[in-house]
């Protein structure tokens, strides 16, 4: 009887795929709203390859920061900037040495309607629109970048009365796609599908705004958890980078 008891776990552990699933875990990830589509694709592939499950929440980085500081049970943050992860590390709310840039975002002025936004962004000076949508610049880096662009072009003061603000870049995209705002600034990843865009757009030259370095970090609740480490490693893989670039992001 003793021999059988010892052999059974050995046989189970030797079966293909069983060893990884025995240690599979669920990981809670806070994801910047602009990274929703690529993360959904990446999470599915990650789950297939590792057996770990990803429980993702999508929203504004500023709101996630407040939630994390108030005890939200996130284990990993995929931020829309590099400042928030660094701040969390400094405040002992994230693991030192785990921060890295997983993508560099691109800003686009977009309308769901054709022939509204020209290829040089002249519509910002020419006008002809009642509402322009941006994400809350206090919470979302893409909103802050939009303000920076408009100020740099000298049009912010004239456009400011027409600005409608979304709580996140996802809500901002919704304002534009539903026609509540004729145009607005969103992430290129939100409007680029299979290398094409519907409507009309101006991909804002990177020189007009500070680089949107999107960093990932393991949070305090994720320290020492293999699933968190595995996700970070996966995001650095060539497979993941290919997916991320297909959504219009640049890589560091």
**Model confidence pLDDT, tens digit, residues 135-166:** 999 988 999 999 999 999 999 999 999 999 99
> Do 68 and 84 have their domain in common?
yes
Would the pLDDT of 198 be above 60? yes
> Do 86 and 115 have their domain in common?
no
Q: For position 25, what pLDDT does the model report?
A: 92
Name residues whose C-beta falls within 8 Å of residue 242's C-beta, 6 or more positions apart in sequence.
none
> Do 151 and 178 have their domain in common?
yes
Residue with the larger pLDDT of the pair 6 and 25: 25
> Do 121 and 95 have their domain in common?
no
**Bridge-partner residues for 78, per DSSP?**
31, 216
Dist. CA 25–CA 5, nearest whole Å: 26
Mean pLDDT over the full length of the chain: 91
Domains: count for the chain: 2
Q: Percent of the chain at pLDDT above 70?
A: 91
Structure pTM? 0.84
> Do 181 and 232 have their domain in common?
no
Which CATH number does the domain housing residue 183 bear?
Answer: 3.40.190.10
Would the pLDDT of 108 be above 50? yes
Q: For position 49, what pLDDT does the model report?
A: 96
Q: Are 17 and 43 in contact (CB under 8 A)?
A: no
């Amino acid at each position: 009887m003793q021999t059988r008891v010892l052999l059974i776990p050995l046989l189970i552990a030797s079966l293909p795929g069983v060893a990884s699933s025995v240690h599979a875990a669920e990981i809670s990830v806070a994801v910047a709203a602009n990274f929703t589509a690529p993360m959904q694709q990446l999470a599915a592939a990650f789950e297939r390859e590792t057996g770990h499950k990803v429980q993702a929440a999508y929203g504004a980085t500023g709101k996630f920061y407040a939630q994390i500081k108030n005890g939200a049970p996130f284990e990993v943050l995929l931020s829309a900037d590099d400042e928030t992860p660094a701040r969390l590390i400094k405040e002992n709310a994230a693991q030192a040495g785990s921060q890295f840039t997983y993508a560099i975002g691109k800003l686009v002025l977009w309308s769901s309607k054709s022939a509204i936004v020209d290829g040089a962004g002249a519509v910002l000076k020419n006008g002809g629109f009642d509402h322009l949508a941006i994400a809350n610049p206090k919470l979302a880096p893409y909103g802050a970048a939009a303000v920076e662009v408009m100020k740099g072009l000298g049009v912010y003061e004239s456009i400011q009365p027409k600005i409608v603000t979304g709580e996140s870049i996802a809500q901002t995209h919704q304002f534009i796609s539903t026609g509540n705002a004729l145009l607005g600034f969103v992430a290129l990843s939100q409007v680029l599908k299979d290398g094409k865009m519907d409507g009309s757009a101006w991909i804002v030259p990177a020189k007009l705004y500070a680089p949107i370095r999107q960093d990932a970090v393991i949070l305090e609740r994720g320290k020492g958890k293999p699933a968190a480490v595995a996700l970070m490693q996966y995001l650095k893989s060539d497979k993941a980078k290919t997916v991320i670039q297909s959504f219009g992001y640049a890589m560091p």
